[in-house]
Amino acid sequence: MAGFPIEVATRIKTLPPYLFAAIDKMKQEALARGVDIINLGIGDPDLPTPTPIIDSLAQAAKNPKHHQYPSYEGMLSFRKAVADWYKRRFNVALDPADEVLTLIGSKEGIGHVHLAFIDPGDIVLVPSPGYPVYPVGTSFCGGVSHIMPLTKANGFLPDLNAIPKDVAKKAKLMWLNSPNNPTSVIMSKDYFKRVVEFAQENQVIVCHDAAYSEIYYDGKRPVSFLEVDGAKDVGVEFHSLSKTYNMTGWRIGFAVGNKNVLAGLGRVKSQLDSGVFEAVQAAGITALGLDDSVTDELRKIYQERRDTLVPGLKKLGLEVDPPPAAFYIWVTVPKGYTSASFTAHLLEKAGIVTTPGNGFGAPGEGYIRMTVCTTKERLAEAVERIKKAGF
């Protein structure tokens, strides 16, 4: 029998071009040539999940009651552990019954929330450069992203006053991300206050992605959006165990805040997924109950790495600031280069993989992103290699 053309839907055809494809190809070629690649491209912790969390999973996996379908909203005991953690960490009270929703990693909820609230033609306010799931989740629902450019001039914070009045009025949902990927910038409580006013005035749902809230430096802890009065009336916050406990592979996160927003997202989830494996949720309870020494140790390691890489790059004459949080270094490309050409230069001449800033959106042009998800020794070697290669 003859085949027929298998055509993907318009939503797939119209996806933006994958800007990392060229760099992936160059990386594969370099690996094939036997180059000892230093990978500063990945945003994935290299350190193992803490042992008590693994032990907890091993034990919970043996319990047959965890082998059946979990509920899509998550075990009440996990949601209680989230509420307790929130109270301890941010002094924010949450009702585990309807103000906490378990997610199969926060990316799952970040993608799906659009299905609950965005109709074709609806506007979503999207920071750029930023996590690609915000604009892609929007376009999968026929929504339209209005870009909020993050630039040096605005301190890499969305300029709420620069959003045209009619766009603000029409917008249905706004994405924020602090600490930020890729710029590492943190939003202050004052900034969040202005966001709440903006959201009230324009009736916009705020979705704040706080995946990096526990990766911070110099003891300066980022605030939660929900710490601000009225925040729970306008929005939700997405969290993940991925970065805090080196659990990217485990797929567990959560959303907290406005119960109507969570109910909308929950209705989508009840139709599309079947929740997080209960043994993983049991391990998640253990993780959230660990004392601060575990995350203190993690922060100390990242800080040492940051303090190896950033001064090293500065010494070479690159324009870069030490980030206050997250594990990303946002480097201005030197004169004569673009994001793509500097990324290619570092790979070809120094065997270092980085990410071109424009891969996170057009306003990221002129930057590259490096991560500190590799050892201090390798980071020091990366600096040496860049010195030798020149630019």
Ligand X SMILES: *Cc1c(COP(=O)(O)O)cnc(C)c1O
Q: Which residues bind ligand X (CB under 6 A)?
A: 43, 105-107, 131, 177, 181, 209, 211, 240, 242-243, 248, 253
DSSP string over 227-247: GSTTHHHHEEEEEESTTTTT-
**CB-wise, 211 or 282, nearer to ligand X?**
211
**CB-wise, 324 or 334, nearer to ligand X?**
324
**CB-wise, 105 or 312, nearer to ligand X?**
105
**CB-wise, 90 or 383, nearer to ligand X?**
90
Q: How far is the CB of 209 from ligand X (least distance, A)?
A: 5
**CB-wise, 49 or 202, nearer to ligand X?**
49
Q: Is the peptide bond before 356 cis (omega within 30 degrees of 0)?
A: no
Q: How far is the CB of 65 from ligand X (least distance, A)?
A: 26
Output DSSP code: residue 178. S
Give, to the nearest 10 degrees, the angle between helix 21-32 and helix 339-350: 10
Q: How far apart are the first and last CA of the chain?
A: 57
Contact partners, residue 306, CB within 8 Å, separation at least 6: 217, 322, 323, 327, 329, 372
**What is the CB-side half-sphere exposure of residue 247 using CA atoms within 13 A?**
29
**CB-wise, 181 or 281, nearer to ligand X?**
181
Q: How far is the CB of 324 from ligand X (least distance, A)?
A: 16
Q: How far is the CB of 1 from ligand X (least distance, A)?
A: 41
Let me know: does 96 contact 76? Beta carbons within 8 Å.
Answer: yes
Q: How far is the CB of 210 from ligand X (least distance, A)?
A: 9
**CB-wise, 116 or 255, nearer to ligand X?**
255
Let me know: does 228 contact 192? Beta carbons within 8 Å.
Answer: yes
**Interatomic CA distance for residues 78 and 95, integer angstroms:** 12
**CB-wise, 168 or 216, nearer to ligand X?**
216
**CB-wise, 43 or 222, nearer to ligand X?**
43
Q: How far is the CB of 182 from ligand X (least distance, A)?
A: 8
**Interatomic CA distance for residues 103 and 268, integer angstroms:** 12
Q: How far is the CB of 107 from ligand X (least distance, A)?
A: 3
**Residue 57: closest CA among 276, 296, 215, 270:** 276
Let me know: does 234 contact 205? Beta carbons within 8 Å.
Answer: yes
Cβ–Cβ contacts within 10 Å for residue 33, how many? 8
Let me know: does 230 contact 200? Beta carbons within 8 Å.
Answer: yes
Q: How far is the CB of 194 from ligand X (least distance, A)?
A: 21
CA distances from 86 to 74, 190, 251, 252, 284 (A): 17, 20, 20, 16, 14
Q: How far is the CB of 242 from ligand X (least distance, A)?
A: 3
